[in-house]
Structure 1
Amino acid sequence: MPNAAPIRSEAPQARSAPDLPRGAQAGTPEGIEALIAAMTLEEKAGQLTIMPAALAPSLANAANPEAISGTPSQQEQAVREGRLGGVFNGDSADWHRRMQHVAVHESRLGIPLLFAADVIHGFRTIFPVPLAEAAAFDPELARRTARAAAEEATAVGLAWNFAPMVDVSRDARWGRGVEGAGEDVLLGSLLAAARVEGFQGARLDDADAMLATPKHLAAYGAAAGGLDYAGADVSERTLREVYFPPFQSAFGAGALSTMAAFNDVAGVPCHANSWLMKDVLRGEWDFEGFVVSDYTGDFELIAHGLAEDERDAARLAFAGGVDMSMSSALYARFLPDLVRAGEVDEAEVDASVRRVLKLKAALGLFEDPFNRLAPARTEKGHAPTHRELAREAARKSLVLLKNEGGLLPLARSAKIALIGPFAAGHDHLNGPWVLFGDPRQATSVEDGLRAAMADPQALTVAAGCAAEAEIAGGIDEAVSAARAADVVVLVVGEGERMSGEAQSRLDIGLPEPQRALVEAVRAVGKPTVLILKCGRAMTLDPASEASKALLVAWFLGVETGGALADVLFGDHAPSGRLPVSFPRHVAQSPFHYDRKITGRPPLSLQHGEEFKARYRESLNLSAWPFGHGLTYGDVAYADLDAGAGRMAWDGSLEVAATITNRGAREAEELVQLYIHDRAASVTRPIRQLKGFKRVTLAPGASERVAFTLTRADLTFVGPDLTWIAEPGRFTVWIAPSAETGVEGEFELLKP
């Protein structure tokens, strides 16, 4: 992909400033109209252009393809001439202040700049990656971590966040699933709203508020073959039932910008999809904010085979409903001429500029362009409260898959061999999409465990191998450490560059050097805890799966070591649940729990049964299902009660079950409610999550957990592509995961 050209002067501008309102008055509806009336076409195109910051940290520059954004002085001049409306992924408060001064005091119209960034899971304090945080099934936690990230990021002037990512992800091969909430529509919708509320705070014009940008519209997570940027050939019904609801939830929570997706949907690239951006987004959903392109996404319409050249790409993107061009500078270069040539209506340009200016006003930038520039506030990046929140979030994100014989929690006095490529050091802890955090601030697994042990010297550490490469003598060293230990803790999985954008994988198992390490260490015969670090669902080889305890640790951020120690030694019990199904084999991908049941469903769990929806080699079930996760208790479900088993059309139905902790330790259980529509005018999924609740049970205690269903919970997109409910019978489960639970049934009565 060619580099985008820097913003340059290409047409004369008026020299004198018109008699226009300034400051807060410029942000009123009347002031905005006066500004638009006074703008040249070049200045209008400038407001619809955002470029990578000329001063940005190296991690931010490495996160995207290289772009020629110009030097700091060139960008200042572009702002001075009204040809640049914002920059992104800078973190210098001093330079942001200088740029804002140029915009407000040295440009003809004095319109403030938007400073934006990708603050995906923390700014200075790095929290668990969003997929990990989704495992907590806790929208309030997501709101709190987003709020903390906004407090830190706004202190350097950032007012606009390119997050949250709300794409539903059902193919573990796709690397960007690490940025989202997993495979479920309900969970994804709840977390989308919570993160928007966290980033934006109480009021958008507060000094610590960031405009949220739910992305990527739409169906980016449906990439064919799990290949990043590939097309999504999905039906309109699937769009409306699966991929649209998290966006609608985010917009309902107040998000006023969104980002177009790189992919096409049914052959039409999202960056030129007027049905998606105009008919649905603005028409059906009454969205009043603005749409920004993804990084050079408008330019990429050429490679898609839709646009003939850069000028045509600018025309198609703007006609498709993309208000603002990111990184390519296509609007700055071509939009004025397209208007003069009659190929773009200037009234439409004015409408896009109006949306951008209204958002700048809503953010309080006209009233006080410098209100978010508070460098002293950046010290909160390592404030105890944010570190404490990071540790809490990391603990709640851990998912215990298996704990044979009650191996966990470990005794603090045990001799432990900590083995694996991620056992020591600060790398690979924070995860992908960390642009502004310092990895040296992260607590390593080794440091976390030593601090919690009775004798720190009873911990022996051996890497064994690198993430994707052998280390000479590494396995021998690891085996020796295992032999001398009481228990082995193996920390394996993905390096942080193995998940994320452009990191699709053919094999979602452990890299071969790690498999060899696990096999050699397991052969020693010591009790083994396998900790899986990852940004996606993974498949486990037989040696890994045979470990007595399995703990999914994702990428947990700055408090990785401390959070792991909290759970491994029993200060806190694990409470996370899988937000994605872990398949048995990569060939099952895309795999998700709420798939269709088919006309020849597997009626038994016997291998070899023919003429059923199954593979020859394996059951068509997960290795570890959505919603699965253990505590240190022993939890049982019994006695589902669906009342009379009938729900009136405008009524409700209470469904309850008894949850009992049969173990010797307190248990925190995530109780889940699922339904299945047994006969409908459109085929329905095997199960759908409709609610979840947390209960804490003392040893031996029981609690009756109840959910209330209404007709709204039973709706789906019908034959005419509108949301409907139909009378009939439903199966209902109260369950610890999507493949288990106690079962009952009820009937929705006719109106």
Structure 2
Amino acid sequence: MKKNIKTIFCLVSVISIFNTKVFAQSKTNIPLYKNSKMPVESRIKDLLSRMTVEEKVGQISMPLGWPMYSKSGDNVEVSETFKKSLREEYTGMLWATLRADPWTKKTLVTGLNPELAAKATNAIQKYAVENTRLGIPILLSEECPHGHMAIGTTVFPTSIGQGSTFNPELIKKMATVIAEETRLQGGHVGYGPVLDLAREPRWSRVEETYGEDHVLNSRMGEAMVQGFQGNNLKSGVNVVATLKHFAAYGAPEGGHNGGSINVGLRSLNQFYLPPFKASVKAGALSVMTAYNSIDGIPCSSNEFLLNDLLRKEWNFKGFVVSDLNSISGLKANHHIADNAAEAAALSINAGLDADLSGIGYGKALRDAIKAGKVSIKTLDTAVSRVLRIKFNMGLFENPYVNPETAKLKVRDTQKIALARQVARESIILLKNQHQTLPLSKTLKNIAVIGPNADNIYNQIGDYTAPQQEENIVTVLKGIKNKLSAETKINYVKGCGIRDTSSGNIDEAVSIAKKSDAVVIVLGGSSARDFKTEYIETGAAKIKTADKALSDMESGEGYDRSTLDLLGDQLKLLKAVVKTGKPVVLVLIKGRPLNLNWASENVPAIIDAWYPGQEGGNAIADVIFGDYNPAGRLPISVPKSVGQLPVYYNARFPEKHDYLEIDAKPLYSFGYGLSYTTFDYQNLKIEYKADKPIVNVSFDLKNSGSFDGEEVVQLYLKSKTSSVVLPSKQLKQFRRIFLKAGEQKTLNFILNKDDLEIYNNKMKWVVEPGTYQLMVSSSSDNIRLEGQFVINKNSFSVEN
């Protein structure tokens, strides 16, 4: 009897606890997963337990977002396409909902301004929460490499220009602005930074990278992640950073976008992966796979990259997303899958969580699960990684944004000023013979010539939305803003970027002869137009037989076989230089171009890459001396495509000359001039074995007559090592402002991360030996050098 009483008591207790939980839940009418006071992991587990397979698959399928709203005047609501997607596919994520460009067919008329964008995302969230069984909010991902790719946002220089600043703190400020503008309009995930090493300038996407060096890329990647994500994803102004493209995407064979990469495991670890590793350590919560394969394994089904390295070794805590259609590409492009279900299984089993396309998973993944090719456990793991972001961003509690705030704070005056500052710091002075620059503001006549002198879309690069003309300051407009009405400014386009059928070179020469100085603006363009065709991934489709050529010669899909100035640009330049007038060549472009003739014959050359919306003002600031340029090349400029690859940190043995030319680039990584001069003195190197660290100090003096900035670069090479290393490798850098005549003592600390290599045992170690330290103003201009010795076991090595 006592035993029965005890059993009854236990049953009553269990029932009481159960009833209490049920009562508490029914009283508030809130399921556990919607209770914000519960731990996130408990909420994920509860929500997963309630979901069907179809609902789970929908959570990790991300269709294109721009068809998901309908606009009529100032009214915006969800579209029938979205309702169908939610009803049939249980969609949980969208990509590029607010994107506008010729590919999406969203214009200034059919697209959304910031206020309407906020209303559109609110409508999407409201419909998803109120019209689905579980009320799960939508995770919205947006393109954000140099500004949110939406109408009315701030447009910064493209990433190659950002890399030229050598100023991570400035880039962090920029990323903070991009994140705020994205989040205020309802976006949650920002695609960027792009961390590919650009070791192939023929490749179409060089402009999207920070250049050829992994240390520079690492510091820029960390800055972007910190600026995007901040310290609180529930802040309402931060977004999740997505690292692109994992991995080794930027050096394809022949420069073909998405082509195969031939790289060994050691090179992969020593050069291509460190920017991703550093950015993951900085807290990045999303990674995008690359289109390419590495040693025969596509990145979107590479278990070593996605599970072994990213999660187990680097302790990555976020989710992995495919690039657009890269899961389907396992069948269509790489030919390693027989059908869509097999491609889906290969990807998710390798650790790829979310499908950017809506067709890579979806039905294909459901079929793979039914066939037993994917386990429910694997599916739950992927879904939980996406849900974790939604919970940690507070989307279940508040999925909405304030349209009025978006209207007021997107692209305000402070953000525009920052765009100008990033543009100024990105500008590189390549040549300044006889102090041609800065030009005097008192000149009576100035000729402004060239296809990029007054073209807003050629100035802002790929991944940019349509712009209101008054928002973009071209070079011509910047010069007009800078000078008084007393200066006569004459403008002639002269020629197109590629088109040779409608040039007016004679007219350009005529105004040059009448002027006191000439500013000629040449280069390239990533400007998409509505005539261009695009493949399913959004890359442009080249048409070589077009009679009326667009300017586009760079940007995704526009790989090149030469690096020459196209069309009649060189012809125009030669004709203008022949007038004998002082000529300033300004380059606006997305990749290194052949500057051999210009380097020999043009007195002043400025490289501005794609400088963004304030580029014209920034360039005018430099030309007329209101800003002393200090940008540095983040990628080497070759003399010929026959030299490629020509990156500065190639491994030993050092390259020998060719029959026709030497092996050196025209301009090396880290190169850039100033209107002032800097002296380096008193190098001191102190190796502290007990720390263990290497202290480096030296004096830097502005010995010229202009205030200005110097970009100090520390390079290292070891006398001997267990594996073949580069002849020199950048380790640290710093951008320093000094007034004319000012001197400062600079201090640097080299630690284990700066000194370790991936050795012959495939381990990260600091090897004993003699090291040569080079303090430089560019990779080929050593100003101070010294040595230090590391004895055996001085550094503790942990793998």
TM-score, length-scaled by structure 1: 0.91
Question: Which of 712, 728, 744 is residue 687 of structure 1 equivalent to?
Answer: 728
Amino acid across the alignment from 1:448: G
Matched, 1:748 2:778: no
**Deviations along 1:359-398, whole A, 9 cap, x unmatched?**
110111112111x353432332231101100111110110
The equivalent of 1:47 in structure 2 is: 59
Once residues 636 and 729 of structure 2 are traced to their aligned partners in structure 1, the CA distance between those partners, rounded to angstroms, is 14
Within 5 Å, which residues of 2 pair with 1:81-120? Answer: 83-91=90-98, 92-120=117-145
Contact conserved, 2:182 with 2:190, CA < 8 A, in 1?
no
Structure 2 unaligned residues grouped into runs of 5+: 1-28, 71-77, 99-116, 527-551, 794-799
Once residues 37 and 326 of structure 2 are traced to their aligned partners in structure 1, the CA distance between those partners, rounded to angstroms, is 35
- Sequence identity of aligned pairs in percent? 35
Instruction: Describe the shift of the 1:289–1:473 C-alpha distance in structure 2 as closer, same or farther (beyond 3 A).
Output: closer
Instruction: Describe the shift of the 1:476–1:27 C-alpha distance in structure 2 as closer, same or farther (beyond 3 A).
Output: farther
Contact conserved, 1:647 with 1:747, CA < 8 A, in 2?
no
Once residues 33 and 743 of structure 2 are traced to their aligned partners in structure 1, the CA distance between those partners, rounded to angstroms, is 67
Question: Which of 648, 652, 660 is residue 617 of structure 1 equivalent to?
Answer: 660
Contact conserved, 1:80 with 1:108, CA < 8 A, in 2?
no
The equivalent of 1:143 in structure 2 is: 172
Within 5 Å, which residues of 2 pair with 1:114-193? Answer: 114-123=139-148, 124-193=153-222
Give the C-alpha shift of residue 226 in structure 1: 1.8
Instruction: Describe the shift of the 1:593–1:21 C-alpha distance in structure 2 as closer, same or farther (beyond 3 A).
Output: closer
Once residues 128 and 19 of structure 1 are traced to their aligned partners in structure 2, the CA distance between those partners, rounded to angstroms, is 46
Once residues 417 and 500 of structure 2 are traced to their aligned partners in structure 1, the CA distance between those partners, rounded to angstroms, is 36
SS of 2:680 mapped into structure 1: strand
The equivalent of 1:727 in structure 2 is: 768
Give the C-alpha shift of residue 324 in structure 1: 0.8
The equivalent of 1:37 in structure 2 is: 49
Instruction: Describe the shift of the 1:747–1:21 C-alpha distance in structure 2 as closer, same or farther (beyond 3 A).
Output: closer
Within 5 Å, which residues of 2 pair with 1:653-732? Answer: 653-732=694-773
Give the C-alpha shift of residue 454 in structure 1: 2.9
Amino acid across the alignment from 1:744: G
Once residues 317 and 407 of structure 1 are traced to their aligned partners in structure 2, the CA distance between those partners, rounded to angstroms, is 57
Instruction: Describe the shift of the 1:472–1:145 C-alpha distance in structure 2 as closer, same or farther (beyond 3 A).
Output: same
Once residues 234 and 109 of structure 1 are traced to their aligned partners in structure 2, the CA distance between those partners, rounded to angstroms, is 46
Amino acid across the alignment from 2:792: K
SS of 1:574 mapped into structure 2: coil
Give the C-alpha shift of residue 707 in structure 1: 2.6
Within 5 Å, which residues of 2 pair with 1:465-480? Answer: 465-470=495-500, 472=502, 474-480=504-510
Once residues 427 and 541 of structure 1 are traced to their aligned partners in structure 2, the CA distance between those partners, rounded to angstroms, is 27
Once residues 368 and 696 of structure 2 are traced to their aligned partners in structure 1, the CA distance between those partners, rounded to angstroms, is 60
Instruction: Describe the shift of the 1:658–1:509 C-alpha distance in structure 2 as closer, same or farther (beyond 3 A).
Output: farther
The equivalent of 2:612 in structure 1 is: 557
SS of 1:203 mapped into structure 2: coil
The equivalent of 1:339 in structure 2 is: 369
**Deviations along 1:558-595, whole A, 9 cap, x unmatched?**
10111111111111110111111111212222221111
Amino acid across the alignment from 1:235: G
The equivalent of 1:442 in structure 2 is: 472
Once residues 304 and 245 of structure 1 are traced to their aligned partners in structure 2, the CA distance between those partners, rounded to angstroms, is 26
Give the C-alpha shift of residue 512 in structure 1: 3.6
Amino acid across the alignment from 1:276: L
Give the C-alpha shift of residue 80 in structure 1: 4.1
Within 5 Å, which residues of 2 pair with 1:621-632? Answer: 621-632=664-675
The equivalent of 1:454 in structure 2 is: 484
Once residues 380 and 712 of structure 1 are traced to their aligned partners in structure 2, the CA distance between those partners, rounded to angstroms, is 40
Amino acid across the alignment from 1:314: A
Instruction: Describe the shift of the 1:710–1:314 C-alpha distance in structure 2 as closer, same or farther (beyond 3 A).
Output: closer
Once residues 752 and 41 of structure 2 are traced to their aligned partners in structure 1, the CA distance between those partners, rounded to angstroms, is 42
Once residues 473 and 111 of structure 1 are traced to their aligned partners in structure 2, the CA distance between those partners, rounded to angstroms, is 57
The equivalent of 2:108 in structure 1 is: none
Contact conserved, 1:641 with 1:655, CA < 8 A, in 2?
yes
Instruction: Describe the shift of the 1:450–1:308 C-alpha distance in structure 2 as closer, same or farther (beyond 3 A).
Output: same
Instruction: Describe the shift of the 1:460–1:76 C-alpha distance in structure 2 as closer, same or farther (beyond 3 A).
Output: same
SS of 1:736 mapped into structure 2: strand
Amino acid across the alignment from 2:83: E
Once residues 139 and 372 of structure 2 are traced to their aligned partners in structure 1, the CA distance between those partners, rounded to angstroms, is 29
Amino acid across the alignment from 1:46: G
Question: Larger Cα Rg: Structure 1 or Structure 2?
Answer: 2
The equivalent of 1:463 in structure 2 is: 493
The equivalent of 2:585 in structure 1 is: 530
Once residues 356 and 396 of structure 1 are traced to their aligned partners in structure 2, the CA distance between those partners, rounded to angstroms, is 37
Contact conserved, 1:26 with 1:35, CA < 8 A, in 2?
no
Within 5 Å, which residues of 2 pair with 1:230-379? Answer: 230-302=259-331, 303-370=333-400, 372-379=401-408
TM-score, length-scaled by structure 2: 0.85
Instruction: Describe the shift of the 1:749–1:438 C-alpha distance in structure 2 as closer, same or farther (beyond 3 A).
Output: farther
Give the C-alpha shift of residue 700 in structure 1: 4.0
Instruction: Describe the shift of the 1:57–1:432 C-alpha distance in structure 2 as closer, same or farther (beyond 3 A).
Output: farther
Amino acid across the alignment from 1:580: I
Instruction: Describe the shift of the 1:18–1:731 C-alpha distance in structure 2 as closer, same or farther (beyond 3 A).
Output: closer
Contact conserved, 2:524 with 2:588, CA < 8 A, in 1?
yes
Contact conserved, 1:27 with 1:367, CA < 8 A, in 2?
no
Contact conserved, 1:518 with 1:544, CA < 8 A, in 2?
no
Give the C-alpha shift of residue 175 in structure 1: 1.9
Question: Which of 732, 739, 742 is residue 780 of structure 2 equivalent to?
Answer: 739
Instruction: Describe the shift of the 1:334–1:530 C-alpha distance in structure 2 as closer, same or farther (beyond 3 A).
Output: same
Instruction: Describe the shift of the 1:747–1:206 C-alpha distance in structure 2 as closer, same or farther (beyond 3 A).
Output: same
The equivalent of 1:218 in structure 2 is: 247
Structure 1 unaligned residues grouped into runs of 5+: 1-16, 59-70, 603-612
**Deviations along 1:712-732, whole A, 9 cap, x unmatched?**
422100011111111111111
